[in-house]
Amino acid sequence: MFRDRGFVGLIVCAGIACLCLFPFTANAEEFQAAARSALANSPEMESARKDVHAAESQMKVVLAEYLPQLSGTLRTGGITEDYADDSETYEETIARLSLSQEIIEFSKYYNIKKAGFEVDVAKAKLEDREQALVLSAAKAWATYWKALRDREINADNVITLADYVEGTELRYEAGELTIADVQLAKSKHEAALSQRNRFQRNLAAAKENYTQVMLASPPGDIALPEIDISRFELPGDEEAVSDHPSMRPLLKQAEANSMDVKRQRSGHLPSLSFESSVAHQTSGEYAHSRYPYNESTIGVVLKIPFFSGGGVYYATDRAQAAEAGLLAEMRDLHFKLVRDLNTARSNYEINREELEIAQHHVEYAKNTFLWMQEEFKLGTRTSVDVLLALSAMVDARLQLATAQEEHFTFIMDYLYALGILSSVIEDAASAN
């Protein structure tokens, strides 16, 4: 309890010291492990991996269509031949083995190329989804960290103000303070209690968000990863945009669409194939009188399309429309990526200054409180002055926590805009 001026300063100093002890930053290993676990268990990542598997299987199907085709046929049964005054029935059995191989088939060739690019599309989408999930994990991590810090700062503030209320009431009873001093202390304490409820709600929401994104229960406490991006070689703007993980699937899809246009156009082109078969046939009315017949063929088949009813034209037109639509989508994404990169860089650079200011703010607020405390001991300051200095210190700490959360988030946004978020997190964790 605040029974004298020196004890007032001692209790408040202890509270301020507590505010400075929570973990702000640490290495990236803890976050990287949590993000890796989230990626391993994510339904979105599992879906993307299945898409890659499906595309690879489709590639094998398309390749199989270009390989030699071997088939066998066995037919047996009775045949009846009717004449004007008679009819004959006899049995016939035919066994045939056929082999064919496409030599020149442009549509199948372009279909194979298209399927190969579609595998690349699926893999690029997997990488894009991975980076997006890492960004979501980083923001969920930062939000949870900020909620923990806010609650911790507020808890210390509530305890300190409760002691302050008790001390002002005792000194009011002793005639050293007025009722206004008591009411102000109680008002500050009630405001801190109200703020505590808000921080508790924020923490509950942050925990739920963490659980949904990370697919795991949040730990009791975490620290923000300390990532110095100056250690990494950053790509130039044009390289970052043109090779961004969200752009790669469209680039690969553009190549696949180009192959599809060529595949549809090839419907006008001739095809050449090799065909061979051997057959054994027996026929006759009775088994003992059936005669065998063997046949073998070998040769090449040239097919030349003359008219398809416009099917090739319209199929080509449809493929070209899809190609043009994708190019428009790529241009739109390019502008968006440029805009996002400029915004992310600006936020990051401005926040560095904000973080430095917030750190100075805390230092100045702390020094102000200490000076207020000394002047309070000398009788030149009132308890109200000390209380206001304490409030300013708490506000400064909250602002610093916000600046630190934003600093981490803006770094993540900047690395994501550069298209290197996943690799930087991996390298940062390995470096530690």
Token pair 């061979």: residue: 276
pLDDT band at 78 (very low <50, low <70, confident <90, very high): confident
Predicted local distance difference test score (pLDDT) of residue 1: 36
Give the gyration radius of the chain's Cα atoms.
39
Q: Say what the alpha-carbon torsion angle 398, 399, 402, 408 is, to the nearest 10 degrees.
A: -120
pLDDT reading at 9 higher than 50: no
pLDDT tens digits, one per residue of 283-342: 765 545 556 788 899 999 999 998 888 899 999 999 999 999 999 999 999 999 999 999
Residue partners of 306: CB distance under 8 A and separation at least 6: none
Lateral strand order in the sheet of 87-104 = 69-82, 87-104, 271-284, 291-303
Predicted local distance difference test score (pLDDT) of residue 284: 61
Helices 29-41 and 179-214, packing angle to 10 deg: 50
Q: Of 222, 48, 204, 240, give the one whose Cα is nearest residue 127.
A: 48
pLDDT reading at 414 higher than 50: yes
pLDDT tens digits, one per residue of 164-175: 888 888 888 888
Q: Helices in 42-105 by DSSP H: which ranges?
A: 43-66
Residue 18 burial class via C-beta count within 10 angstroms: exposed 0-12, middle 13-18, buried 19 and up: middle
Q: Say what the alpha-carbon torsion angle 109, 112, 114, 116 is, to the nearest 10 degrees.
A: -140
Indicate the residue type of 350.
I
pLDDT reading at 15 higher than 70: no
What is the rounded distance in angstroms from the CA atom of residue 417 to the CA atom of residue 131? 10
Q: Of 108, 192, 122, give the one whose Cα is nearest residue 156.
A: 192
What is the rounded distance in angstroms from the CA atom of residue 356 to the CA atom of residue 344? 19
What is the rounded distance in angstroms from the CA atom of residue 58 to the CA atom of residue 362? 61
Whether pTM > 0.85 for this model: the answer is: no
Predicted local distance difference test score (pLDDT) of residue 379: 78
Residue 376 has a CB neighbour count (10 Å cut-off) of 21
pLDDT tens digits, one per residue of 334-370: 999 999 999 999 999 999 999 999 999 999 999 998 8
CA-to-CA dists, residue 239 to 132, 229, 244, angstroms? 19, 18, 8
pLDDT reading at 81 higher than 80: no
Predicted local distance difference test score (pLDDT) of residue 109: 94
> What is the percent of the chain where pLDDT is above 70?
89
pLDDT reading at 227 higher than 60: yes
Mean pLDDT of the chain: 88
pLDDT reading at 409 higher than 60: yes
Phi, psi of 233 (to 5 degrees): -85, 115
166 vs 17, higher pLDDT: 166
pLDDT reading at 11 higher than 50: no
> Please, which residues bridge with residue 91 across strands?
78, 284
What is the rounded distance in angstroms from the CA atom of residue 373 to the CA atom of residue 371? 5
Q: Is the dihedral of CA 21, 26, 32, 33 positive or negative?
A: negative
pLDDT reading at 20 higher than 60: no
Domains assigned to the chain: 5-431 (1.20.1600.10)
The two three-digit tokens of residue 390, written as one number: 């304490």
Q: Are 167 and 177 in contact (CB under 8 A)?
A: no
Residue 11 burial class via C-beta count within 10 angstroms: exposed 0-12, middle 13-18, buried 19 and up: middle
Q: Of 367, 419, 116, give the one whose Cα is nearest residue 238.
A: 419
Residue 379 has a CB neighbour count (10 Å cut-off) of 8
Average pLDDT score over residue span 105-111:
93
Token pair 């190329």: residue: 113
